[in-house]
Amino acid sequence: MPRPVLLFSGQWTDLPLEDLTQKASEWGYQGLELCCGGDHLEVQRAVSEPDYCQQKLDLLTRYDLTAPVVSSHRVSQAVGDVIDRRHRAILPDYVWGDGNPDEVPQRAAEEMMATARTAQKLGASILGGFTGSPLWSYVNGYPAPAPATVAAGFAEAARRWHPILDVCRECGLKFACEVHPGQLAFDLYSAEMLLDALDGREELGFLLDPSHLHWQGIDPAEFVRRFPDRIVHVHIKDTVLQLNGRNGLLGSYLPYGDPRRGWDFRAPGHGGIDWESFIRALNAAGYDGALAVEWKDSGMDRLYGAEEACKFVKRLDFEPAPPRDDQAFRNS
Amino acid sequence: MPRPVLLFSGQWTDLPLEDLTQKASEWGYQGLELCCGGDHLEVQRAVSEPDYCQQKLDLLTRYDLTAPVVSSHRVSQAVGDVIDRRHRAILPDYVWGDGNPDEVPQRAAEEMMATARTAQKLGASILGGFTGSPLWSYVNGYPAPAPATVAAGFAEAARRWHPILDVCRECGLKFACEVHPGQLAFDLYSAEMLLDALDGREELGFLLDPSHLHWQGIDPAEFVRRFPDRIVHVHIKDTVLQLNGRNGLLGSYLPYGDPRRGWDFRAPGHGGIDWESFIRALNAAGYDGALAVEWKDSGMDRLYGAEEACKFVKRLDFEPAPPRDDQAFRNS
Amino acid sequence: MPRPVLLFSGQWTDLPLEDLTQKASEWGYQGLELCCGGDHLEVQRAVSEPDYCQQKLDLLTRYDLTAPVVSSHRVSQAVGDVIDRRHRAILPDYVWGDGNPDEVPQRAAEEMMATARTAQKLGASILGGFTGSPLWSYVNGYPAPAPATVAAGFAEAARRWHPILDVCRECGLKFACEVHPGQLAFDLYSAEMLLDALDGREELGFLLDPSHLHWQGIDPAEFVRRFPDRIVHVHIKDTVLQLNGRNGLLGSYLPYGDPRRGWDFRAPGHGGIDWESFIRALNAAGYDGALAVEWKDSGMDRLYGAEEACKFVKRLDFEPAPPRDDQAFRNS
Amino acid sequence: MPRPVLLFSGQWTDLPLEDLTQKASEWGYQGLELCCGGDHLEVQRAVSEPDYCQQKLDLLTRYDLTAPVVSSHRVSQAVGDVIDRRHRAILPDYVWGDGNPDEVPQRAAEEMMATARTAQKLGASILGGFTGSPLWSYVNGYPAPAPATVAAGFAEAARRWHPILDVCRECGLKFACEVHPGQLAFDLYSAEMLLDALDGREELGFLLDPSHLHWQGIDPAEFVRRFPDRIVHVHIKDTVLQLNGRNGLLGSYLPYGDPRRGWDFRAPGHGGIDWESFIRALNAAGYDGALAVEWKDSGMDRLYGAEEACKFVKRLDFEPAPPRDDQAFRNS
Amino acid sequence: MPRPVLLFSGQWTDLPLEDLTQKASEWGYQGLELCCGGDHLEVQRAVSEPDYCQQKLDLLTRYDLTAPVVSSHRVSQAVGDVIDRRHRAILPDYVWGDGNPDEVPQRAAEEMMATARTAQKLGASILGGFTGSPLWSYVNGYPAPAPATVAAGFAEAARRWHPILDVCRECGLKFACEVHPGQLAFDLYSAEMLLDALDGREELGFLLDPSHLHWQGIDPAEFVRRFPDRIVHVHIKDTVLQLNGRNGLLGSYLPYGDPRRGWDFRAPGHGGIDWESFIRALNAAGYDGALAVEWKDSGMDRLYGAEEACKFVKRLDFEPAPPRDDQAFRNS
Amino acid sequence: MPRPVLLFSGQWTDLPLEDLTQKASEWGYQGLELCCGGDHLEVQRAVSEPDYCQQKLDLLTRYDLTAPVVSSHRVSQAVGDVIDRRHRAILPDYVWGDGNPDEVPQRAAEEMMATARTAQKLGASILGGFTGSPLWSYVNGYPAPAPATVAAGFAEAARRWHPILDVCRECGLKFACEVHPGQLAFDLYSAEMLLDALDGREELGFLLDPSHLHWQGIDPAEFVRRFPDRIVHVHIKDTVLQLNGRNGLLGSYLPYGDPRRGWDFRAPGHGGIDWESFIRALNAAGYDGALAVEWKDSGMDRLYGAEEACKFVKRLDFEPAPPRDDQAFRNS
């Protein structure tokens, strides 16, 4: 049984959900990863309007789609971050409020709990998002943080996230924390630290998007092999390295799509990720969750690309071997 | 005339300057890059005690050393940074004061001006340091900053640095701003932005240390070719890439020397930098400043290494060709 | 709107045009790049017979093909070359005449003007070809030419080509000069020199065939980025490097297909060219001309291969992104 | 007994021979490869003045140098070339004469015979030089030459060179023909063709300079293994590849030292040649001739570099193993 | 006419032949390589039951399959090996007998002769298998064997194989000896030695499976070019290198599929083999035999994979160029 | 305190020990690894003649050399091997005896115990050697051994080696078992298996020679990091990979020095081993044993090479950093 191929709705919140649903269905997707944004998922309405979730489900069902994953990357970012003016643009007004940096994280945490309850109503088993990070400015910065400073940052983040994870447990959800620059966990060893900081509690898993590891020099398949039981959601997005001696991996403040960047996102199969070894690592780890296309490519039409990507993922996701038995003729 | 080979004193402030001077001379160095720290250079004493600078110069002269470059990386960092608790450990008490983040940068700026005046007294022509950066937490972070946010960060930094550069001009100094993660300029394009933000004023130059560019994927020789007239100081330090699929270039909060890191500093010649192409680029640019060994290698004894490094640099710094004339027999 | 996929007719002049037209149509091509050779395009008949061009167009129309590009590589070569016996085999008798090296180039120039007028009658907007070169024997040869000798060669070529470009202007054509060994422009810097020599006049553009750049070590995408407004026609042909220590890039006088060669031409997708980055560079440059398959592969059946190549190009030529607008969810 | 390390005098003809001799001796060279140029070797004087050769030998002896190899690259080039205005600058007036392209080659051939007789008088056993080539303009050019055209070029060259090789035989000399772009033999397979064209006669050997093979992608050690008995002289010169996507291997008419070139010459050990495998191949072939430094590096001072190069070659030229005998303890 | 695509039946002997035949036909195969094992091919029954072979052929014909190749890898291994307990598991009881190492090889040889006669009855032209090797334990072992010891091993093997090859000749068969670790011929030079040891007799050819050469560092296309007339059968199987510094190419006794191995088998197209150059080498050699998928991939479902592999091979096996004729327009 | 640099005497047993001692001392070595062979170390005499060992020690002392390591590779090989005719050439007559394969291993074991007692008398702390292997013929062979077969081989070897290790314990020796093809432990995972089979007993350590790992694709530094406490002796020998598509890593039965081999041994620094990372790994592991040059290079004179190698090792063995303390200025 191949894994369901989803479309991450975050890049499409400019379209009404019904439009996106129709397109995704035509393109061959089996479901959506519903993101908070536009009319795709409005948490406060979902909480307060009795039929809200059912209507969303009905809509998806009409197009034969499922929604096993719900995501809220923007609000979750504010839970653990040092808040600054950038956050205003990504938060609902009622979370931002007066923008007091000491209070925004708490409001963001409450919104995440409400999102978890909404995800449960939608029948999802995974809640995706970020953690934010009080430590990001120290990564490769100067002065290097003392170990105690790093530890304190993780402890503070744990304090903020435990209550949300408690709600996830109640709701039967895993929180899929994306391994991503700007977050506490952005590579293999920082992911270990995050698990430790949260006592390895069961509700915590990782959302793995190979595109964020590739340009750092990390092999996504090694990440899977290190945490075979913690991968609870997967994004499919590609990255291209275009180093030429003049540009670099830190990106020079240049936006995606600027040809001077040292790396950029690409439609799956159009970059440098070794998808073969990645899917085999997922197979070996027994991962049976969804594969969600997060479509982002500054050089390709998104309508054209989203359809192509769906086909790409289905081709990629070959049938793994059944549990090993002795083979009759092993060595010729 | 080969370039003077200096030893950057910053890693040696646990030694009295006289001890370091003696060693450096024995190892073959021709001078020191004097750093603020220990008794190497105490700015407030230099400003207030009439003989302070002359005594330092006398000491150096006794060992046949010069001090053409003066550096203050720690204090300069605080000029442009968002101040947090990490800065307390790197600042003199009178600069840190009560640690009010709105006031520390101003006190740091005043200290830098005093440092410039001290450098002039010492006969130096280069003042080295950092800029700090209000933008560092946005690099590769989330949410990406709007272009206006980046521009505002550079503008604010320019506002803080212009007065210091004014003093440099008065003192006949270039400010050698190190291209370095954690600073405004950390790669080629961000260096362009910094120059633009400061109107390309003449007192601003770059301190180029190839070790900070190499792991980003940038060719230090390309940086030289892009800014041939702005390289005013050079650090010699090496970097090794030790990627193995599991670690990454962002370093996982791990300290230098931790074998799990994706890259680390190395004694010159023990890492992956292409020194041949770097020195040729400096030659082609007509760079005639110093080559300062910043010795940092977690796997080698520093006394052994500092001597080896001096020999390495002298061997590296071959005599460049004189200005081009026609060659008699060009093509056989 | 994807670009028209053409078949370059030059390798098929042994077939009557009608046969080729029928095949090309069946294979999926949308048009032909009509070459002078066989009965594909006979310039003197086109000039003298009133219906000649219309009959060709009628033939193409019957098979739903267009002919937006007309090429004359052989005759154009003789315009700028030092004439020797090799040229006899590639020129019509009336251009070769008595083969006087001082007169052949003038007759070739006149033929090119007639070809331009023919192209106009055929409704083409691009005239493709070579320039020939009086400098080719100096490339990598001995003795190296003095700069003045190089300049004189370009000046002479400019003198010969200006009148032809004048006719192109009258006819509303761009002359697509192929960047190719044996020509004045064979790489990025020599292309700059050619543009300069011809005062950057508007009728002059480049026919870019990545296969001629790849084995020289040049990235075709960089060429596009250097001359975004000058690429007026594109050939799709691949190249394989098969260096093994014993052979070399200069080819040892060995014909294509000889397994000892250091490189060879290949059907598109069967060699080493990075087509993904090439098509993205064309997209970024806003190139909206044709993509013409020049099919040449000594190891594959040409009937099989021409069909496969058409499919390859259509798959390659994905829909580029629309002009950039802000994206809602850029960084997750 | 290690091989003698010579300095090729061609790049130093602006210095009087006595000056060069003194320097070469101080730098550690054991001899010179005497080139026709300046006062280093004037063939017509050597032929007509009875003491000329002896005086040269006396001079060398005073500085403990030998001269086992005599070279005349410039004049030899004109023997096989299509003559044009470039040749005027490299030929003595009496060889150029009126520059009639049909007659210059014959005068050049006569001068080469005189050079051979001079070499004999000087006690040399090797005469080095070029062949020139009537085929160079066809290499990678258009139209490709028919096989018969290539064969005719070799035949013509053979006709011109046989008489010179006859004189070499009389004088007990090998003619060391440099494998070099611009010559008939520029790679492994063209060297085979040249040997065939000259019936494999014994007086013909190759002068191998790895720098001319490296940028073509050819492994100089493979060349040695192909012609173990035909390597009669060796030049030591290095080459660096500096491809960056924008430049190419054909060099864009740019002079050596231009940073835009795709490759350039370098002092030995400062480029990309695998000297270890090259010297082992020479050892395995039993080559016992000289190693002559041809010093050419646009980025290094030649006085500094020539001394460094001599040391480099001596270090490189380790003692080879004696003819193989059974080893007692082969496999632990 | 493309080559027939077969399925090697050896990995499927747990399925009755009829089941496999049906599946193979549905998957698109054109035939089977029938292996001794299960009910696929029972040699003693084939010899003793008059209708046995015809019934097999009828079965295949019902599903439109052919059987041009018959294989017996297991029994053939015992002909040349030093017999130990491992062989019991792979031999029929009547060949193993009492397991006396001096007698098993003779019984294996007789079984191979019977297999050859069976192959003839089945209309096959190729008999595939191994040779076994008395020398395998010496490869890379200690102490290294003396040359005489190697020679003696080949001589002994030749003595054992000549009678079998005699029967092949009578039956009109080539014996396709697989180039494979554990055999006398496992790489290019050992294949030369085997041919020599068997006097280059015509019945001896090679079964080439690129997967066994790739991890040894050998290019399968070079093997084809070395023995163009001796390749009589081809297996299509892929290999992946997964070296990470800790594992190695000798495999540490680890079974296939263990993720710690330095290399492993893969479904075709899922590993590192350069199939493009391999198929072109077969084309150039004029190979017109079958391409047999030997399907082995520990990470993929075999039913899914066998169908995919058939499609892969058909796509790979493009139409080669007809024998070379002059091309009209070779160089544009 | 740098590590002692020894010369492994095994390749020099054709020289009387006194000759070798004198040479080694002149070349700069600090000691010998004494091997059984020639007059270097004759175990039966050492056991029976009271002064034998003292005379050897006196000889070494005269030349200022030590002998901290004693080796017996040849005899130790026979302890665990399947005995065949190759062993006769490497064993003393009294160990070979009648060559009965069932008895030779026992006699070899007794000789190893005597060697251990001799090593003790010589004051050595390390006994070096092989294990032999009953499993070598199964490595990469066919049929693959069942896991039980592998386990049985290790168990048998353990049975044979325990008594020898008992004697080592009595004598205060570590047995340094060389990780080497042909032995039970030839890579990282097989070394784990050997340790397990021998219950991880303390007397068992590894002799690590990077040259045997490099061509297998294993990083010697990773091996050190895996077994930091088990490396008890180190050989310094280099390996070159010379793959060219035609040759392979299994070596085709070709002897060392044959240019067709895919890899070969080289004098240290003349091959492809990354000595920098190897020595750093040894430093990090706290290895304080000897570095013994095992000099083997078929292309270099051994007298020349042994001296060069000693210098190479001394240069390589730089002073490691003292145990980590906080560094004052970590991040500039």
Inter-chain contact D253–C189, Cβ cutoff 8 Å? Answer: yes
Give the model confidence (pLDDT) of F62-117 as tens digits. Answer: 999 999 999 999 999 999 999 998 999 999 999 999 999 999 999 999 999 999 99
| Distance from the C245 Cα atom to the nearest Cα atom in chain F, whole angstroms | 8
Chain A interface includes D244 (CB < 8 A): yes
Q: How far is E100 from chain C (nearest CA, A)?
A: 49
pLDDT at E239 over 90: yes
CA dist D77 to A66, D167, D181, D184, D304, Å? 78, 18, 12, 10, 31
Average pLDDT over residues C63-87: 96
Cβ <8 Å between F298 and D324: yes
E4, E5, E8, E11: CA torsion to nearest 10: -170
Given a cut of 90, is residue C149 above it in pLDDT?
yes
**Average pLDDT of span B287-296:** 97
Touching check for F245 and chain B: CB below 8 Å? Answer: no
In chain B, whose CA is at the least distance from the CA of A247? Answer: B218
Interface A:D, Cβ pairs < 8 A = 3
Which chains lie within 8 Å of chain D at 3 or more CB pairs, if any? A, B, C, E, F
Structure tokens at C138: 């100096």
Q: Tens digits of per-residue pLDDT, E1-17?
A: 579 999 999 999 999 99
Of the candidates D183, D219, D221, the one whose C-alpha atom is nearest the C-alpha of residue C262 is: D219
How far does F183 lie from chain E, in Å, by closest CA? 8
- Calculate the average pLDDT of chain E: 95
What local confidence, expressed as pLDDT, does residue A144 receive?
Answer: 92
pLDDT at C325: 52
pLDDT score of C324 more than 70? no
**Per-residue pLDDT tens digits for C4-56:** 999 999 999 999 999 999 999 999 999 999 999 999 999 999 999 999 999 99
Q: How far is C329 from chain B (nearest CA, A)?
A: 9
pLDDT in tens, F254-291: 999 999 999 999 999 999 999 999 999 999 999 999 99
Number of Cβ pairs < 8 A linking chain A and chain B: 162
Using a CB-CB distance cutoff of 8 angstroms, which residues of chain B are in contact with residue F280?
299
- Whether the pLDDT of residue F166 is over 60: the answer is yes
Q: Model ipTM?
A: 0.93
With a cut of 80, say whether residue D259 has pLDDT above it.
yes
**Mean pLDDT (chain C, rounded):** 95
Q: Which chain C residue's Cα is nearest to A211?
A: C332
Predicted pLDDT of residue D223: 98
Q: Report d(CA D153, CA C79) in Å as an integer.
A: 24
Whether chain F has a CB inside 8 Å of the CB on E90: the answer is yes
Q: Which of C89, C144, C248 sits opposite D216 (nearest CB)?
A: C248
Q: Which among E144, E330, E331 is the nearest to D331, CB-wise?
A: E144
Mean pLDDT of D179-193: 97
Among C264, C10, C76, C7, residue whose Cα is nearest residue E327: C10
Identify all chain D residues contacting C190, using CB atoms and an 8 Å cutoff.
Answer: 252-253
What percent of chain E is predicted at pLDDT more than 90?
95
Integer Cα distance of E289 and E225 in angstroms: 16
Q: What pLDDT is attached to residue B168?
A: 98
Mean pLDDT of B113-135: 98
* F321–B299 CB contact, under 8 Å: yes
Mean per-residue pLDDT, E309-314:
97
Assign residue A28 a region: left if phi > 0, alpha if psi is -120 to 50, beta otherwise? left
Arithmetic mean of pLDDT, E220-227 = 98
Q: How far apart are CA D173 and CA D163, in angstroms?
A: 13
> Does the distance separating the beta carbons of F225 and B297 come in below 8 Å?
no
Q: For F76-105, give the secondary structure using H, E and C.
A: HHHHHCCCCHHHHHHCCHHHHCCCCCCCHH
Is A134 near chain C, with CB under 8 Å?
Answer: no
Q: Per-residue pLDDT tens for B71-113?
A: 999 999 999 999 998 999 999 999 999 999 999 999 999 999 9
Of the candidate ranges A303-307, B117-121, C323-327, D294-298, the one whose mean pLDDT is the lowest: C323-327
Closest CA–CA distance from residue B181 to any residue of chain A (Å): 6
F chain contacts of residue E213, beta-carbon cutoff 8 Å? 248
Whether residues C299 and E276 touch (CB distance < 8 A) is answered with no
Which of residues 175 through 194 in chain B touch F, CB cutoff 8 A? 178, 180, 182
- Chain-centroid distance, C-alpha F26: 24
- Name the pTM for this structure: 0.95
Q: CA–CA separation, A252 vs A264, rounded Å?
A: 12
Candidates E74, E87, E250; nearest CB to F181? E250
Cβ–Cβ pairs < 8 A, chains A and C: 55
| Long-range CB contacts for residues D43-48, cutoff 8 Å, separation at least 24 | D43/D72, D43/D111, D43/D114, D43/D115, D43/D118, D44/D92, D44/D94, D44/D114, D46/D114, D46/D118, D46/D121, D47/D114, D47/D117, D47/D118
Q: C256–E280: do the CB atoms touch at under 8 Å?
A: no
Q: Is D226 on the interface with C (CB under 8 A)?
A: yes
Pairwise pLDDT comparison (B2 vs D285), residue with the higher score: D285
How far B264 CA lies from chain E's nearest CA (Å)?
19
Interchain CB contact of F298 with D (< 8 Å)? yes
Q: Which chain B residue has its CA at the smallest distance from E245's CA?
A: B244
% of residues, chain B, pLDDT over 70? 97
Chain C positions touching F259 (Cβ under 8 A) are none
For D187-239, write each residue's pLDDT tens digit.
999 999 999 999 999 999 999 999 999 999 999 999 999 999 999 999 999 99
Query: With a CB-CB cutoff of 8 Å, which residues 140-179 of chain A face chain F?
Result: 142-144
* Segment E204-213, tens digit of pLDDT: 999 999 999 9
Contact E189, E160 (CB under 8 A): no
DSSP state of E95: H
The shortest C-alpha distance from F154 to chain B (Å) reads 32
Whether residue D143 has a cis bond before it, omega within 30° of 0? yes
To the nearest whole Å, the CA of F245 is away from the closest chain C CA by 8
Which residue in chain F is spatially nearest to B302 when comparing CA positions? F321
pLDDT at E326 exceeding the cut of 50: no
pLDDT tens digits, D61-83: 999 999 999 999 999 999 999 99
Tens of pLDDT, residue by residue over A215-235, are 999 999 999 999 999 999 999
3-state SS, residue A135 = coil
**Of F296, F307, F311, F312, which to mutate for an interface test with D (greatest number of D Cβ within 10 Å)?**
F296
More confident residue, D329 or D310: D310
Find how far residue A198's CA is from the centre of its chain: 19
Nearest to F330 among A144, A331, A332 (CB): A144
With a cut of 90, say whether residue B194 has pLDDT above it.
yes
Contact B37 F329 (CB under 8 A): yes
Looking at this protein, which amino acid is placed at residue F37? G
Residue A325 has pLDDT above 70, yes or no: no
Residue D326 pLDDT class (50, 70, 90 cuts): very low
Gap from D36 CA to chain F (nearest CA, Å): 37
Q: Minimal Cα–Cα distance from A329 to chain C, Å?
A: 35
- Taking contacts as CB-CB distances below 8 angstroms, the residues of chain F near C244 are 244-245
Tokens of D4: 């003698």
Partner-chain contact E299 A284, CB within 8 Å = yes
Residue B329, chain C, CB below 8 Å: the answer is no
Q: How confident is the model at residue F1 (pLDDT cuts 50, 70, 90)?
A: low
The pLDDT tens digits for E69-101 are 999 999 999 999 999 989 999 999 999 999 999
By the CB < 8 Å criterion, does D111 face chain B? no
Given this model, what pLDDT does residue C326 score?
Answer: 46
Strand segments, DSSP code E, in chain E are 5-8, 31-35, 66-71, 126-129, 174-178, 204-208, 231-236, 238-241, 263-266, 291-293
- Asked whether the predicted pLDDT for residue C117 surpasses 70, the reply is yes
The reply to whether residue B11 touches residue F327, judged by beta carbons under 8 angstroms, is yes
